[in-house]
Structure 1
Amino acid sequence: MSELSAQFKTVSVIGLGYIGLPTAAAFATAKVNVLGVDVNQHAVETINQGKIHIVEPDLEEVVKDAVEQGFLSASTETQAADAFLIAVPTPFKGDYEPDLKYIEAATKALAPVLVPGNLVVLESTSPVGATEQMAKWLAEARPDLTFPQTAGESADINIAYCPERVLPGRVMIELFENDRVVGGLTTKCSKRAQALYNLFLKGECVLTNARTAEMCKLTENSYRDVNIAFANELSVICDEQDINVWELISLANRHPRVNILQPGPGVGGHCIAVDPWFIVSQNPLNARIIRTAREVNDAKPTWVLDKVKARVADCVAETSLPIEKIKIACFGLAFKPDIDDLRESPALHIANSIAKWHKGETAIVEPNIHEVPAIFDGKVTLKEVQAALDWADVVVLLVDHKPFKAIPREQVKHQWIVDAKGVWR
């Protein structure tokens, strides 16, 4: 451990969700005292019992060990620490404008306990300039302290930005192994933040400035969004021309310099479905490809819904059953396979739209949840895999969870199928 890293005896992680809790657990593995903070009382109580309130492989074991050894505890109140990490959501409002209200609330909650020598790191995916805005809020709340925007390297408080770049389902691997980009408001801020993450990081922690680090995170997710949009647009074109898009992509990817991604029902999650809009919001005239990719991916759920309506119409025509008697089962709600995260999920949106439109019964199959999300307003039932297959007339595959991919194709005997992931093709 370096001399700089040794300065951090206590770390506070504000926001104990899909990124904050794994990050808190990672710091706890370095045998530093980690104080987790969240407004969700249930989450706090669950963590203090050594359990977790989200689904993420290998996380519960790390949290359990950290709590039992006394290196991790959770509270609804922010307490004094050597370093503070903010990992709260950054949704958008209005016409896809970034909403920093959660960052502002977290900033103002930690301001009263700041002391000279503290480091504050923003991890939340944010528009360019958010770290500077956070520094302004802190300066307004604590005029007795000095901050980098006015005092430079001699500031009492150091401030930096360090976005996560992990894949849900692999967080407890990638959190340690992936390289990180950290950008401070000064060189000293960057180096201190680098030392903080080096407590547990096995990958390289590369230094830059805060604005570049913010844009780097948005760029990574926008790049992925554009590539997914190409695959989704291709799937729509192939459907019009009676071509199996998954076979086509497999053939095209045999080219040594072609690597097309797989199409799906849209794009979800709190990163790829949101972050590109931050660039568009700040650069409305120049972000043309990025905007178009977002529009292509945002339109895909409606296209899938139209396919479901067409299959139901076929079912009605061929069985002579009234539409009220047709039963639909939607397989998958999460925004990606084998997790329980429903944020910005196109599958959730499609299933909810089906339930609202369909006059008959609708069921959902989601192995990673235990109760029907409130968004459905009691209009669906939650079924197990085989029960849904036996029950449904029309099946809709929206997420390629492992249990769904494990179903032998011969068991899916339904004549009316909408497979948005190509699992049962």
Structure 2
Amino acid sequence: MPLDTEFSVTVMGLGYIGLPTAAVIARTGAMVTGVDVTPAVVETINSGRVHIEEVDLDGLVSGVVARGNLKASLTVAAADVFVIAVPTPFTDAHQPDITFVLDAARAVARVLKTGDTVILESTSPVGTTEKVRDLIAELRPDLTMPGRNRPGEQADIAIAYCPERVLPGRILVELIDNDRVIGGITPRCARKALAFYRRFVRGACVTTTARAAEMTKLTENAFRDVNIAFANELSLVADTLGVDVWEVIRLANRHPRVNILSPGPGVGGHCIAVDPWFLVAADPANTPLIRTAREVNDGKTDHVIARATAMVEAQPPGQPVACLGLAFKANIDDFRESPALKVAQALAERFGPRIHIVEPYATTLPPAIAATGAVLTDIDTALETCAAMVVLVDHDIFRSVPLDERRGKTVLDTRGLWPDQA
């Protein structure tokens, strides 16, 4: 791919998606400015370092920063393309909160010029891209907006939606290789966004409407959530009946048309644990299955807390108990919406210093857990000092512990990590 240093991109948000995206685009030779609201993040990136754990990201960022193709800033820079990759959380009432998206759109609106393209990547409720368009139209009446132009009149800017669909631990690979769904406010917007993604994506790029692309992303994560809920509900039934759920799933999956997922202590991450609520909020009357799946998966975390609490209480007074893992999935440092974190915090709040936490991707405990007096330790120390363990994350380092080092310990294994445990 030829280098294009005349082409400029501004990426709004330098988190788990924004920073890898900015670095991958910068590798093509484009001039990329990454914008974040946290000074420490900006300083870290401009020094060629990273603030998140992701395979090969540190080397890539170091290289593109050294070449001058990527810089971080607290303020928005003018560019040819603007990519918005900021968080979209939900409220306590499970309503989507697009405040960060709209704040980013306001910032972008100030520097837009004719010919620019604005692309929203944040997972968003259906209709959010149109809200971004309407906000920019309000702030920039001098620009003709797509979908608001008169027949025969060309819009001054293009606005589109293109959700990420990457797996933590493989983000740099999947940003390039995975297919992308690109939804435009108008077909012309979709084509302009398509041309942008073709600069760095090898996977198929399929164009559609903004609303269809928004719902596609929510559908993908709701599908996963519903299937995980089946596995988690099955694990509850197996507990009641005294059956090994892992064996049942292994045997059931020998059927040529059955593929049951693995249960766990709940569902975490910013996508699967959040996005289905956006569909429920949009149409509560027609989403009972999606809502129930969310409730099952959240309820599984409460079930694990109850079982782990009983296990700790059954130990001799003062005996330390290890919680293995805080991340929402294996081999990453992402704790967002992590059920493991919720279980560990509940135990730490009840038992304080008795709870020893092993998380190889953390150097300190989250403040709420640290305040309880819980201890951050390593797996070797935990194996030496703790007679009971709660397996919450299937990090590779935990998987490597042989039976000889675990024999005689009381174990609550929520991941099926140690099937040989007596």
Alignment TM-score, normalising by the size of structure 2: 0.96
C-alpha distance after superposition, 1:352-393 (max 9, x if no partner): 000112265111110011111112142211101110111113
Among candidates 360, 371, 386, match of residue 380 of structure 2: 386
More off after superposition, 9-18 vs 146-155: 146-155
In structure 1, give the amino acid aligned to 2:105: T
Q: Using the alignment, how far apart are the partners of 2:352 and 2:306 within structure 1?
A: 15
In structure 2, the residue matched to 1:238 is 238
In structure 1, the residue matched to 2:141 is 143
Q: Using the alignment, how far apart are the partners of 2:297 and 2:77 within structure 1?
A: 42
* SS of structure 1 residue aligned to 2:34: strand
In structure 1, the residue matched to 2:175 is 175
In structure 1, the residue matched to 2:107 is 109
**Structure 2: runs of 5+ lacking an equivalent:** none
In structure 2, the residue matched to 1:400 is 394
Instruction: State the Cα distance separating 1:94 from its structure 2 match.
Output: 3.6
Q: Using the alignment, how far apart are the partners of 2:129 and 2:20 within structure 1?
A: 22
Distance 1:71 1:159, change over 3 A: same
Q: Using the alignment, how far apart are the partners of 1:109 and 1:377 within structure 2?
A: 36
In structure 1, give the amino acid aligned to 2:320: K
In structure 2, give the amino acid aligned to 1:24: A
Q: Does residue 411 of structure 1 match 2:405? A: yes
Distance 1:160 1:8, change over 3 A: farther
More off after superposition, 354-363 vs 59-68: 354-363
Q: Does residue 223 of structure 1 match 2:217? A: no
Q: Using the alignment, how far apart are the partners of 1:314 and 1:250 within structure 2?
A: 31
Instruction: State the Cα distance separating 1:6 from its structure 2 match.
Output: 7.2
CA contact (8 A) 2:389 2:409 kept: no
Instruction: State the Cα distance separating 1:422 from its structure 2 match.
Output: 1.1
C-alpha distance after superposition, 1:108-159 (max 9, x if no partner): 1111110000000000000000000011111111111111131167111110
Distance 1:174 1:8, change over 3 A: farther
* SS of structure 2 residue aligned to 1:149: coil
Distance 1:6 1:182, change over 3 A: farther
In structure 2, the residue matched to 1:255 is 255
Alignment TM-score, normalising by the size of structure 1: 0.95
In structure 2, the residue matched to 1:318 is none
C-alpha distance after superposition, 1:322-351 (max 9, x if no partner): 3xx121111000000000000000000000
In structure 2, the residue matched to 1:345 is 338
Q: How does 1:288-307 map to 2 (within 5 A)?
A: 288-307=288-307
In structure 2, give the amino acid aligned to 1:245: V
In structure 2, give the amino acid aligned to 1:108: R
Instruction: State the Cα distance separating 1:93 from its structure 2 match.
Output: 1.0
Distance 1:206 1:7, change over 3 A: farther
In structure 1, the residue matched to 2:267 is 267
Q: Using the alignment, how far apart are the partners of 1:41 and 1:343 within structure 2?
A: 21
* SS of structure 2 residue aligned to 1:424: coil
More off after superposition, 30-39 vs 374-383: 374-383
Q: How does 1:205-220 map to 2 (within 5 A)?
A: 205-220=205-220
* SS of structure 1 residue aligned to 2:148: helix
Q: Using the alignment, how far apart are the partners of 1:414 and 1:9 within structure 2?
A: 62
In structure 2, the residue matched to 1:333 is 326
Q: Using the alignment, how far apart are the partners of 1:356 and 1:50 within structure 2?
A: 38
* SS of structure 2 residue aligned to 1:372: coil
* SS of structure 1 residue aligned to 2:110: helix
* SS of structure 1 residue aligned to 2:11: strand
More off after superposition, 401-410 vs 385-394: 385-394
Q: Using the alignment, how far apart are the partners of 1:136 and 1:7 within structure 2?
A: 32
CA contact (8 A) 1:78 1:109 kept: yes
CA contact (8 A) 2:4 2:28 kept: no
* SS of structure 1 residue aligned to 2:310: helix
Percent identity between the aligned chains?
A: 52
CA contact (8 A) 1:334 1:341 kept: yes
Q: Using the alignment, how far apart are the partners of 2:89 and 2:154 within structure 1?
A: 34
Q: How does 1:26-41 map to 2 (within 5 A)?
A: 26-41=24-39
More off after superposition, 148-157 vs 344-353: 148-157
* SS of structure 2 residue aligned to 1:423: coil
**Structure 1: runs of 5+ lacking an equivalent:** 316-320
Q: Using the alignment, how far apart are the partners of 2:169 and 2:118 within structure 1?
A: 28
* SS of structure 1 residue aligned to 2:207: strand
Q: Using the alignment, how far apart are the partners of 2:390 and 2:6 within structure 1?
A: 50
Q: How does 1:308-323 map to 2 (within 5 A)?
A: 308-315=308-315, 321-322=316-317
- The count of residues paired between Structure 1 and Structure 2 equals 416
In structure 2, give the amino acid aligned to 1:99: D
Among candidates 127, 131, 145, match of residue 129 of structure 1: 127
Q: Using the alignment, how far apart are the partners of 2:252 and 2:63 within structure 1?
A: 47
C-alpha distance after superposition, 1:45-94 (max 9, x if no partner): 11111111000001111111111111111101001000000000000114
Distance 1:6 1:31, change over 3 A: closer
Q: How does 1:180-219 map to 2 (within 5 A)?
A: 180-219=180-219
In structure 2, the residue matched to 1:423 is 417
Q: How does 1:271-286 map to 2 (within 5 A)?
A: 271-286=271-286
Instruction: State the Cα distance separating 1:279 from its structure 2 match.
Output: 0.1
CA contact (8 A) 1:265 1:421 kept: yes
Q: Using the alignment, how far apart are the partners of 1:332 and 1:353 within structure 2?
A: 14
* SS of structure 2 residue aligned to 1:188: helix
Q: Using the alignment, how far apart are the partners of 2:224 and 2:274 within structure 1?
A: 12
More off after superposition, 12-21 vs 40-49: 40-49
